[in-house]
Structure 1
């Protein structure tokens, strides 16, 4: 099933032709900072399956994993579109909020739970990782 999406102002659009390799909710401190204190919810796709139109801004920093994470967002409205790790440039981690409604995706795992605040509600039925899990398969 192809997926489509856009930023809040419509300046950036995306089209995804493949299925996600993984879907995750991330509670790392960087994700909490960009998600107003909560987690980010993401789908990991092969980079070649993701086409983006429109101008993106980006910012990067060193993550707790030791990798450089670069976050790509709309410079007009600030909507997060995707993140990419220096260790996995063949993958794009797309924010579920950037996808059009009705996409049907939801996290299958929760990562960096050791960084979650004490009030966080973490679904016990999902696979759970206190830190960074192993990389998803390249497929």
Structure 2
């Protein structure tokens, strides 16, 4: 596995946050993910007047990696130009659990250079993952 390039992740996430479309919340977010291949992908939040149609930066960055053919991601960095360090929301945590190992680092940084880190297991313990679907399929076949 490639070493995590935190400086590149932070720079990409910061640049992505500058492209965020956040006219309602005024809360721009940029995210960068590093795949196991070493490639870095990024995304920003894109809000919508119909709030439910808003897509978070985390899901946009992960989608960019998936579009490029990546399936195994190794690190994620959330950047916000806010005083408070911001972890991913619940919906994003579920998507993160799909593509990252439980011990994968998730880091939040801000414009003050502060950082806080977690791992996937800490952010979403007992996540619903594909293993539960496989177990269900086996049970249904055995019935």
More strand by share: 1
TM-score (norm 1): 0.27
Higher relative contact order (CA 8 A, sep 6+): 1
Q: Over alpha carbons, which structure has the higher Rg?
A: 2
Which has more helix, going by share of residues? 2
